[in-house]
Chain A
Amino acid sequence: MADKAIRKWVADRPVPEFDSTPFVEAPPLSECTVAIVTTAGLRRDGDTGWGKQDASFRVFERAERDIKLGHPSPNFDRSGYAADMNVVYPIDRLEEMAAEGIIGGVAPQHLTFMGAQDETMNTMRMDTGPAAAKILKDGGVNVVILTPV
């Protein structure tokens, strides 16, 4: 049970803490356009690798499936993603839910960051995060599902 030890190891690590939580109500799910944002550090062949505490992000088109796991940490399972990307990046599940009318639609673009950032996450909060949010808003996204590894 490696994960229990890893969860214990990182439990007390500093994380960003906030005085309040922004909260808005979403339209009915059947009217929402949904995007995936993962911190799995996904990559395409030929992409620049993810450096230490790299706070940039990459954009994937809705139809893209040739996407690799690129996060450099050894402390999570990779074999699940290798067999079925949806266990991290549930793009096919979203397509099914859109076809069934459960969600309103699948966003035209989806994003990946890399987890394991410094505790301030300054670049992500002040620069790359807002830039990523603009891409999602421009794509008409109402709901984002965040999947860490």
Chain B
Amino acid sequence: MVISVLRNHTERIRPPRALHCEFPLGRPLGVPGEPAFQRRVLDAAFGLLKSKEGPVLEDFPEVIEDSADEPLSCAIPPRTDESLAPAIDEARGLRKAYNRALERNGRTNVGRLADADGIEGLLESLIKVANGEDLKEAGFPSGTIIEATKDLMSYYEEAASALVDHIPAARAAESWFFKETAAGAVLLEAKAKLKEAEWPAWMFITSMNQ
């Protein structure tokens, strides 16, 4: 059976059994860190097996919206080295928080193009793109900038979750990253430059609402 996240698509594809869950995209089981909620979703999904004919499409009764409009309230590290670009100084200041998140979660989404030790290098390259430098010359051959942006965003989001000491609501940490941090500003400027240069995948640099 399918946990449906796009009802319109599920209605047209018509899989045998689907439970539509109007939850934040990226959280098909609804709530991270809440096993009881996840079990309710699975119970409802497995309940569809009782149907004798299909296709079956039912709605999970609870709706959860994302919190992109409410950026996480999270501290930004103070400047500690004026010789560094603000975003690099900032990323360095978040390292201990990132390490705490890694220890707590036991895993990280950082590591597609670079691990945590490589985040400053990624930022150096992204700053070059934000300043209008060619992607390849900046250190991002063949679309690797897209992987780099996910590493950077994951590093910041995971560090933020340790700083606030709870699991952020969906998209709240992402909004904090783009609205409050120097690295977010670099990424938005890099996206603007790539759009201006008509690089075809510019819209995959950030989510469409940023």
What is A's interface to B at a CB cutoff of 8 Å?
A: 1-7, 9-13, 15-18, 21-26, 29, 32, 43, 45, 49, 52, 65-70, 72-88, 90, 92-94, 96-97, 102-103, 143-149
B153 at the interface (CB under 8 A from A): yes
**In the complex, A4→B67 CA distance in Å?**
11
User: Is there a chain A Cβ closer than 8 Å to B103's Cβ?
Assistant: no
Given contacts A23-B53, A75-B208, contact A3 B157 (CB under 8 A): no
From A65, A80, A93, B42 is in contact (CB under 8 Å) with: A93
CA separation between A93 and B32, bound complex, in Å? 12
9 sampled A-B residue pairs with Cβ under 8 A: A10-B6, A13-B9, A15-B13, A77-B66, A79-B174, A80-B26, A87-B30, A97-B42, A149-B5
Per a CB cutoff under 8 Å, which of B33, B46, B68 touches A83? B33
Instruction: Name A11's contact: one of B8, B107, B157 (CB within 8 Å).
Output: B8
CB-contacts of B127-183 with A (<8 A): 143, 146-147, 149-150, 153-154, 157-158, 161, 167-168, 170-174
A86 to B208 CA separation, bound complex (whole angstroms)? 26
Chain B residues close to A by CB (< 8 Å) = 1-6, 8-9, 12-16, 24-33, 35, 38-39, 42, 45-46, 49, 52-55, 65-66, 68-69, 101, 105-109, 111-112, 143, 146-147, 149-150, 153-154, 157-158, 161, 167-168, 170-174, 204-209
The prevalent SS among residues of A at the interface is loop
**Contacts A80-B27, A143-B49; is A93 near B2 (CB within 8 Å)?**
no
